[in-house]
Amino acid sequence: MEPVAEPVAEPVAEPVAEPVAEPVTEPVAEPVAEPVAELVAEPIAEPISISVQDDAFPLEGGTGVGTNVEAESDVDSEEFLSEYCSGGSSKTTSLAPSVFSYTYANGRRYHSDRFKSEYFMPNDETEQSRLDLYHHIFGLLLGGKLYTAPLDHPQRVLDVGTGTGLWAIDFAEENPGCEVIGTDLSPIQPAWVPTNVKFEVDDMEEQWTYPNNHFQYIHIRSLSGSFTDWDRVLKQAYKALEPGGYVEFQDYGCQVFLSDGTLLDRDSDKYPIASYFHHVMGAAERQGKPMVVAPTMKERMEKVGFVQCKARIEIWPLGLWPKDKRLKEIGKWGLLGTLESLYPFGVHIMTKEGWSPERIKELCDWTAKGMYKNNYYTTGWFVYGRKPEEAVY
């Protein structure tokens, strides 16, 4: 583990300045949202097959998987995007001193290859802006809360795979008496942070170096697809937690649904995103780093020994189609986030499967166009478990 002596990234104030996806130039002639009834009439996928734990509970304001979400018929997602994206960018590029010898591929910058773990997303400024956008989405999903576990004034907290560190910084600000450690493969955290937060560079798939029974809370957000052995990570979290402490996993479910609750779980000509997910999620699975881990997380925690485990699922629309105001707001950023993510998310994984960058771009462009015409949502998962009071290490 190495303390980060000179954090290298400037805080990114604006969430997103440049869209990753190319603007879709074709005007949308049809209304963005089709009536749910029509979508139901032509399902391309089998009825919902996602497995949700029996006692998975939507907490206050929460919803469940397979929910039919009411759509509005005349929203224009493209208009939103063109307005949002026309603001231009005043961002400057400030490259890190290469203490960790970054690697470069696909026109992007990735973490150093000195680590055994290979993480599939870049770590450059564009990626940092994307992470900050997702931090905003998670905030909307939880109504501004940073966690769902019933915490009671924790003194020591660990944020695994902290990224740009925004979660760790916010948590440290909310809990000035708590020491927060954020750890990541990449030293991309800002320099000016509250005094009670510190960042370290480490590979969390390796042996953890923290003392046993140390933290009261360990937070793991947006790491689906990052680890080959989730059970080992959870076991290490269990050891590092004080008895009575909580581990919490937060992520999107890596599954897409139509607004009527139909799971799009197979290749499709009609719904490009289904095709995208089919290829990318399938490849990630074959490469040993599965993405669809959220629905398995509660059971994994229980197997490791955590108790009082709870899973909360939130609807995460990918477009402006929901009638409900809160969901529409989430959907706006959910759409932008998806468009930003499609190519960088897919390119590293699919080139390993022998796809050319051009073929991946084609799939992403087609998927992006489909985003405006269909009412999609994914799910946000918030799963926590408690280390038993009587645990010995």
Ligand X SMILES: C[S@@+](CC[C@H](N)C(=O)[O-])C[C@H]1O[C@@H](n2cnc3c(N)ncnc32)[C@H](O)[C@@H]1O
How far is the C-alpha of 221 from the C-alpha of 209, rounded, in Å? Answer: 20
In angstroms, the Cα distances linking 323 to 35, 52, 229, 370 are: 12, 26, 40, 20
Task: Output the six-digit token pair for 59.
Answer: 């907490």
The interface region with ligand X, picked from 40-48, 144-152, 182-190, 275-283 by CB under 6 A, is 182-190
Among 110, 147, 167, 276, interactor with ligand X by CB under 6 A: 167
Among 67, 103, 112, 117, interactor with ligand X by CB under 6 A: 117
How far is the C-alpha of 267 from the C-alpha of 251, rounded, in Å? Answer: 23
Among 124, 125, 205, 260, interactor with ligand X by CB under 6 A: 205
Nearer to ligand X, 168 or 258 (CB): 168
Among 21, 185, 330, 339, interactor with ligand X by CB under 6 A: 185
Range list of β-strands (E), the chain: 2-3, 103-105, 108-110, 156-160, 179-184, 197-201, 215-221, 241-252, 257-258, 307-317, 376-386
The interface region with ligand X, picked from 131-139, 267-275, 303-311, 357-365 by CB under 6 A, is 131-139
Nearer to ligand X, 187 or 261 (CB): 187
Is residue 108 part of the contact set for ligand X (CB under 6 A)? no
Provide φ and ψ at 322, rounded to 5°. -65, 145
How far is the C-alpha of 362 from the C-alpha of 368, rounded, in Å? Answer: 10
Minimum Å distance from CB 19 to ligand X? 18
Task: Output the six-digit token pair for 31.
Answer: 């209304």
Among 119, 171, 271, 306, interactor with ligand X by CB under 6 A: 119
The interface region with ligand X, picked from 157-165, 234-242, 270-278, 377-385 by CB under 6 A, is 157-165
State whether residue 153 is helix, strand or coil.
Answer: coil
Q: What amino acid is encoded at 256 in this protein? A: V
Among 108, 156, 198, 221, interactor with ligand X by CB under 6 A: 221
Is residue 275 part of the contact set for ligand X (CB under 6 A)? no
How far is the C-alpha of 159 from the C-alpha of 269, rounded, in Å? Answer: 40
Contacts with ligand X by CB under 6 A lie at 111, 117, 119, 131, 134-135, 161-163, 167, 184-186, 203-205, 221-223, 226
